[in-house]
Amino acid sequence: MPFLRSLSINTSHSHPFPFNVPAVRHGKNITIDNRITIFTGDNGTGKSTLLESIAMRMNTPLIGDHIGKREDFNAARLLQPYLQLEQVRKPLNGFFFRAEDFGDYIYKLKQEKNRNNAFLDDMREEVAATVLDKMSESMHTLLHMMRNDYGENLLALSHGEAYLKIIQTKINDNGIYLLDEPEAALSPLKQLSLISFILEALKSKNSQFIVATHSPIIMGVPGALLYEISEDEIRQTAYEDTEHYRITHSFLSNPAAYLRYL
C-alpha cells in the first residue's frame, strides 16, 4: 500500500514562477497511488518543482542536509499553501535524492580533505607523523559523518558508484523516496543497476518511489505509473508513447538522419 494517494496544486495564480510552469498549472488531482510513479517531460515543465514541493511538505532529508534547513527551495515554499497531498499513512523513513545535492556533497568532502591536508603539510617537518595522522583523523568532520552515514569512504568510489551507494544505504523499509533526475549522476549501465535496486526494494520493502526523469532507461521501470508533462496537460501515458522514448528510439535507429542536418 502506498503512503501517498494523490496530489493537487489548487491555485488560481498563473504568474510569476513557479505558478506559470505546466506542472503547477495542470497539477490537479494527480493520482500517485502506485508503488512507483514517474514524471517526465521537457526542461522547464516543472517536474523538479513537483518533487521539491512534496519533499518540503513531508520534511524529507537530503544528501548531507535537511530540506528544512535549505534556502534554495523558494518555489516549493511558495507552493506549500496550495499543495494538497492525500496521505494514506505516514512513512517511517524517506529521502529526497537530487544529483546536484550529491555533487555539492562530494565537492565539500574534497574541499575539506584538501584544506586539512594543506594545513597539516605545513607542520610535517616539526610534528611526528603519528601525531599528524591522529590530527588528520579528528579534523575531517565531514569524512567522519560520511563514514557514519554510508559505512565507507565515498571518495574512493567512482561518481556513479558513490551515488548508488547513498541510494542503497538510505532506502529502507516503510519509506517514501523521491528521485529527481538520478540519471545526471549515472551512466546507462548504472541506471540499469538503479532499476534493479528499485525493483528489489519494491519486492522486499514496504516503499514508494516518485521519480522525475528524462531518461528513457529509467522510464522503463516495469509497472511504473508514468505521467508526461507538457505545456497543455499532465497525462498518464504508455512508455512507448512518451516523447523521450520516441525521439531516442528514432535517433538510435538512424543517427545519420538526425546528424546530417546539424
Q: Per-residue pLDDT tens for 119-140?
A: 666 667 666 666 556 656 555 6
Assess whether pLDDT exceeds 90 at residue 141.
no
CA 217/CA 186 separation, integer angstroms:
11
Which DSSP helix (H) or strand (E) runs through 175? strand 175-180
| Domains in the chain, number | 1
> What is the C-alpha separation between 216 and 244, in angstroms, rounded?
6
Q: Are strands 225-229 and 36-41 parallel, antiparallel or unpaired?
A: parallel
Contact call for residues 171 and 201 (beta carbons, < 8 A): yes
**Mean pLDDT across 54-80:** 85
In a domain, 110, yes or no: no
Q: In this structure, is residue 34 part of a structural domain?
A: yes
Q: Considering the domain boundaries, does residue 9 fall inside one?
A: yes
CATH number at residue 43: 3.40.50.300
Decide if 186 contacts 163 (C-beta within 8 A).
Answer: yes
Print the domain residue range for 196: 4-98+172-259
Please say if the pLDDT value at position 193 is more than 80: yes
Question: Is the per-residue pLDDT at 233 higher than 80?
Answer: yes
Neighbours of 91 (CB within 10 A): 21
Q: Average pLDDT, stretch 152-168? A: 75
Structural domain contains residue 186: yes
Q: Residue 151 domain-assigned? A: no
The answer to whether position 205 is within a domain reads yes
- pLDDT of 68-84, one tens digit each? 667 778 999 999 999 99
- The arithmetic mean of pLDDT across residues 146-161, rounded, is 65
Per-residue pLDDT, 149: 61
Residues pairing with 95 in the sheet: 177
State the pTM of this model.
0.85
